[in-house]
Structure 1
């Protein structure tokens, strides 16, 4: 026996599997010595406590196979101590044998069992009887511990089986993916590669785990950049995304891939490994390059066409003017209508050509602004006057303070607001009120153009500022360049432009233009 212990001594560490702890509780030290002598042959660990509170403190420190508890104790008696033991989840089912000098009257026994007793021993008792009872409870405790260990082993075995099954399913899933996949240890050592990488490179699983084998499949021009970024991620533990070319063993071609590497962390946030994937984007890159080349060719063609159209348009305008001068004041009505039609057509074509040229300049970054002080209120009044007389049923209200001066390109801003007012009138076929509101804000000015027209579908609010974007198709004319050009001009001023609309007829739209007070020369 390891010997009985008092609370002042440190409780032993975890007992051996075949050794159980028994708590002896009695307020008389002579009784504790007697219990110790009776139970010593069992070879178990005996812990002594002389009061109920002392016994409760021991129970906070460790588990016991059995508690021998004297009923008659000063202060906290055995019944109260047992009730407190049963209230705690950890000790709720620890067996308690009450030791009492009372007779076995029925009321006393009921009281004891109600307090949580598993058995009752009346003093004086036969040592062998007590020893047999304690031995039975210890054996029961051992069996329970053995069952718990078996259950734990079964759970661990089931967990390992599930982990192996999960790993097998994971590998099958990863092998079926079109991406190339690597699993790496914390230091970057490859622990697993999927079938895609093995088939792409022709490597064996063993070769694919070696760093030098994997490195030689990265394009020589990309290798320094790729490896430098990977080493930085290893140092910092940060995710990594980059594009690079990989050599394909089947045909010797280098193909572009998008690589992503993510750190794996445990529940405490510690780095335990990496998962890296590579997705083939070669065809997508080629398609983008073809599209970009086609787009550049289209832009070049439109710019050249616009330049080529300028000369005949100017000649047409000059001939129309000469014809009107030759006809004099007594021009026939049908001739006058024809000349006015020519003027409208030429002006419309000139506007389209100008838009194409402006769009080309914006795309090339060649739009040069002429910075001057601009009275914004005066500029907006000129824009409104430009549309007089208004179409029937329309009216324009201008709300702009005097002396609202900003640094900007006056002609380009006039182009922006002329386009916004023109659109507002065009998309308000039923007429109504159009409002231009300008307000000074800290460091900037805010202009709103509000109409009560058709509105803009919510899904089109972003697209209307793209080249050739139209909210309502081609029904209302134009190339769909006006808002794209307006956005480019506003952004060149360091400002922002956007639209708001619920998309319902009659609710209209509001275009916002925010510009800094002092632009950059």
Structure 2
């Protein structure tokens, strides 16, 4: 069949009809030969010697008509017809019964009840049989012709829709400010949009070997081509950064390439849509920011290191003055010395935190791992911290012993940071509860206060450098939790916080540490 195009109409001409298959079923071979000789020019005659053999043919092929002998051993014609009509694929195939019995009413009614469309008595007149069969063959061929016409029409409509979709894709792609490419299912690029032609100075179709062309920076070609081949072979999305040459000034600019597969109704990849977004300005800004951050970190590390010496000297001078003039000092100078001593300690703590953060960032925060009992360490820490605030009651719930392996000095630093925060963010006093226990090969520590709490949207912020849930009004640089997280993670553990941000309910910090440190 062919299409005649040139307008909205089309014409289908039969060029070569497929032969209609006719299934003849009879247990007598001479009868089958007679039927084949009589009907051979009307279609392909397929012979079956029994009902069982006829059913096997129907499993493999479709037929225009079935001529079925009524009286056969095994499955007779009526039972065979019943089974044929029960199967969805064959239920609408016309059946003509062949019988040598008289045309009594009960016999005829039973045949029609099983789905027969006609009866032919043996011996039959060849012209009458050919006439009956030719009607059903012609109907079958017409139906097949209609099916082919419908299929061709659907295909033409689908092709028209695909052409329209492709045209719309190109219009949409040309309207976008970023480079857009289309690729075939096997990954061959077909064309690029207007942004691509303006960038490269090349035609829209000059993209087939883009990834290995001089338009892509020589240092990026291998990696981007390998990433593209991997995406095409696996069907996974493509995302990679690379540099493209801008023809207007011969400068390479960074682009972010992304690609997703298009899939048809069967879920198979029918093509790819690729985009390349210019991120050169963003990339340069990120690099500049990274350099500035590195310079800032270097300055903080250097400044912190340089501040330790004068702070140590100031601390020593205050201690010497207190020892030398202690008995002679009046209340005013004594309070001044004590205040100076506290401020030097505070400055020393801030400098120490800055140094620890610098070591964390550079991977130089070292641990001195040993076996120790955590319970005495917690008791000593609580006694020391309790002396700093009479308004807060520190409560420790712990077993008699809890041996573990780790850096006791760093673990004490974490405990000090958590308890100090609990005190700082409970300005009206109240209890601070510590509980420690062993659980499934881990040490579990919980520090709970009843202060102002942490807003839920700030819970993720508090472990970042200089992150503070309530700003600077409660003091500190926002480094203690960052350092604590780094120490815990270096021990192979984790730390997190829980709070509803409701004043009076406070916050709860959880720490999990392996009993045997990962560094052991």
Q: Is the 8 A contact 1:256 1:281 kept in 2?
A: yes
Change (3 A) 1:315 1:166: same
Partner of 1:230: 225
Q: Measure how far apart 1:356 and its partner are.
A: 2.3
Partner of 1:21: 21
Q: Give the TM-score normalised by the residue count of structure 2.
A: 0.81
Q: Measure how far apart 1:84 and its partner are.
A: 1.0
Q: Measure how far apart 1:484 and its partner are.
A: 1.0
Which stretch shows the higher mean deviation, 54-63 or 431-440?
A: 431-440
Partner of 1:477: 475
Partner of 1:11: none
Cα distance in 2, alignment partners of residues 349 and 463 from structure 1: 24
Please list, as runs of the form range in 1=range in 2, the aligned pairs for 1:103-252 lying within 5 A after superposition. 103-123=102-122, 125-184=124-183, 189-209=188-208, 215-219=213-217, 223-227=218-222, 230=225, 234=229, 237=233, 241-252=239-250
Q: Measure how far apart 1:456 and its partner are.
A: 4.0
Change (3 A) 1:176 1:498: farther
Give the 3-state SS of the residue equivalent to 1:91 in structure 2.
coil
Q: 1:448 aligns with which of 445, 448, 458?
A: 445
Cα distance in 2, alignment partners of residues 177 and 48 from structure 1: 65
Please list, as runs of the form range in 1=range in 2, the aligned pairs for 1:39-438 lying within 5 A after superposition. 39-40=39-40, 42-123=41-122, 125-184=124-183, 189-209=188-208, 215-219=213-217, 223-227=218-222, 230=225, 234=229, 237=233, 241-260=239-258, 276-303=274-301, 305-306=303-304, 313=311, 317=315, 328-329=326-327, 332-370=330-368, 374-389=372-387, 391-392=390-391, 394-402=393-401, 404-408=403-407, 410-428=408-426, 429=428, 431-438=430-437
Partner of 2:463: 465
Give the 3-state SS of the residue equivalent to 1:463 in structure 2.
coil
| Runs of 5+ unmatched residues, structure 2 | 1-15
| Runs of 5+ unmatched residues, structure 1 | 1-15
Which stretch shows the higher mean deviation, 179-188 or 338-347?
A: 179-188
Which stretch shows the higher mean deviation, 92-101 or 502-511?
A: 502-511
Aligned pairs, number: 497
Q: Measure how far apart 1:242 and its partner are.
A: 3.8
Partner of 2:10: none
Change (3 A) 1:251 1:280: same
Give the 3-state SS of the residue equivalent to 1:511 in structure 2.
strand
RMSD (CA atoms) = 3.7
Q: Measure how far apart 1:33 and its partner are.
A: 4.4
Change (3 A) 1:119 1:466: same
Change (3 A) 1:406 1:77: closer
What's the CA shift string for 1:439-462, capped at 9, x where partnerless?
A: 3865xx524132143554444333
Q: Measure how far apart 1:323 and its partner are.
A: 6.4
Cα distance in 1, alignment partners of residues 17 and 115 from structure 2: 27
Q: Is the 8 A contact 2:220 2:242 kept in 1?
A: no
Give the 3-state SS of the residue equivalent to 2:468 in structure 1.
coil
Change (3 A) 1:122 1:352: same
Q: Is the 8 A contact 2:369 2:405 kept in 1?
A: no
What's the CA shift string for 1:438-489, capped at 9, x where partnerless?
A: 53865xx524132143554444333221111123433432211111122233
Give the 3-state SS of the residue equivalent to 1:510 in structure 2.
strand
Give the 3-state SS of the residue equivalent to 1:250 in structure 2.
coil
Q: Is the 8 A contact 1:373 1:406 kept in 2?
A: yes
Q: Give the TM-score normalised by the residue count of structure 1.
A: 0.81
Q: Is the 8 A contact 1:25 1:51 kept in 2?
A: yes
Give the 3-state SS of the residue equivalent to 1:352 in structure 2.
helix
